[in-house]
């Protein structure tokens, strides 16, 4: 009809961008699901209770991989100088310092929590970070973003699903006190984890810090912080002694770090190409897959309450994806 107005067709550049983002999201799914399976497998090695040491190995592996990917510090510096960024701005240094401690705290407390809770509880709990991520976005990124009904509905469903899953897992285990300690650690992990994507978005999109520089510097700093902590507490010596006897655990830890780095590259490209909240939505969606696989691959109680909780979480993830899809580019 004459009055009809055709919708504008996406340009070749837009189509390439969308194809790239889809590839990164699929890579994020694959590598992070594999990473989570390897992490759970490591904690199922008899006598393994070294969550902070696991964090140090993973972050250290990511730092080495990032450095190798960038061709070393000299090559990284040359590229930054060619881009006109010979020195890291003072504002970027401040955000990097916050990112270093947030990564160390998030990964450390999240790993230690696995000594006290079932893996599905950790995964579901961290899926709830969408709520604080949205809140912190207004104060860290400060780009004027507003969230609609679908965003808040997604967050609500994820919170309800989390509460149901935690209650179901507590009912299935006798160690109530231990479980409560794990949940408290997960609260700290979720709060610090919610800050990370916003800091990364601020550095990548706001302050234009090169992705390679951010990955190398943040992981180097976080590794040193965690290494100093486990050396001071004595966990480093105990973990090394343990790995001398259980060498298979060392292989699981190394594999986890390598796969985690591949997932991190995909995740950061999603943040750089879209936003920090988009990255969290993608990781939240893959966590539903991780939860299902965890119950399939590892023997653990699965009740009707677990199924209900997973269904509610899946609805929340679906609403979040729809909200992101309906927003104008």
Q: What is the pLDDT of residues 282-312, one digit of tens each?
A: 666 666 666 666 667 666 667 777 788 878 8
Point out the least confidently predicted range of 12-26, 86-100, 141-155. 141-155
CA angle 136, 138, 140 (to 5 degrees): 65
User: Among 292, 326, 289, 285, which residue's Cα sits nearest to residue 307?
Assistant: 292
pTM of the model: 0.72
The pLDDT of residue 167 is 67
Decide: residue 199, CB within 10 A, 0-12 exposed, 13-18 middle, 19+ buried.
buried
The total of other beta-carbon atoms located within 10 Å of residue 166's CB is 21
Instruction: Please tell me the number of Cα atoms within 13 Å of 261 on its side-chain side.
Output: 23
Query: Is the pLDDT higher at 74 or at 245?
Result: 245
CA distance 168 to 120: 11
């Amino acid at each position: 009809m004459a009055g009809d107005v055709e919708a504008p067709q996406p340009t070749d550049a837009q189509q390439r961008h969308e194809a790239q983002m889809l590839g990164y999201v699929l890579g994020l799914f694959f590598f992070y699901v594999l990473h989570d399976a390897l992490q759970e497998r490591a904690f199922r090695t008899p006598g393994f209770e070294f969550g902070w040491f696991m964090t140090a190995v993973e972050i250290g592996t990511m730092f080495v991989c990032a450095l190798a990917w960038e061709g070393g510090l000299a090559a990284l510096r040359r590229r930054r100088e060619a881009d006109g960024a010979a020195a890291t701005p003072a504002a970027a240094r401040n955000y990097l310092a916050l990112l270093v401690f947030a990564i160390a705290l998030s990964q450390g407390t999240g790993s230690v929590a696995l000594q006290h809770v079932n893996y599905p509880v950790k995964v579901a709990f961290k899926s709830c970070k969408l709520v604080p991520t949205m809140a912190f976005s207004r104060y860290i990124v400060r780009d004027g973003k507003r969230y609609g009904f679908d965003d808040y509905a997604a967050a609500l469903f994820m919170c309800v699903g989390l509460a149901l899953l935690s209650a179901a897992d507590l009912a299935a285990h006798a160690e109530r006190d231990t479980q409560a300690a794990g949940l408290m650690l997960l609260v700290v992990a979720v709060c610090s984890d919610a800050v990370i994507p916003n800091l990364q978005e601020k550095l990548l999109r706001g302050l234009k810090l090169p992705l390679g520089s951010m990955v190398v510097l943040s992981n180097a700093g976080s590794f040193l912080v965690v290494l100093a902590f486990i050396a001071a507490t004595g966990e480093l010596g105990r973990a090394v002694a343990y790995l001398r006897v259980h060498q298979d655990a060392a292989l699981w830890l190394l594999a986890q770090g390598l796969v985690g780095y591949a997932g991190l590259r995909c995740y950061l490209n999603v943040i750089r190409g879209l936003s920090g909240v988009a990255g969290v939505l993608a990781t939240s969606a893959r966590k539903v897959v991780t939860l299902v696989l965890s119950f399939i691959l590892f023997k653990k109680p699965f009740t009707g309450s677990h199924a209900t909780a997973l269904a509610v979480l899946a609805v929340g993830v679906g609403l979040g994806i729809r909200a992101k899809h309906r927003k104008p580019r």
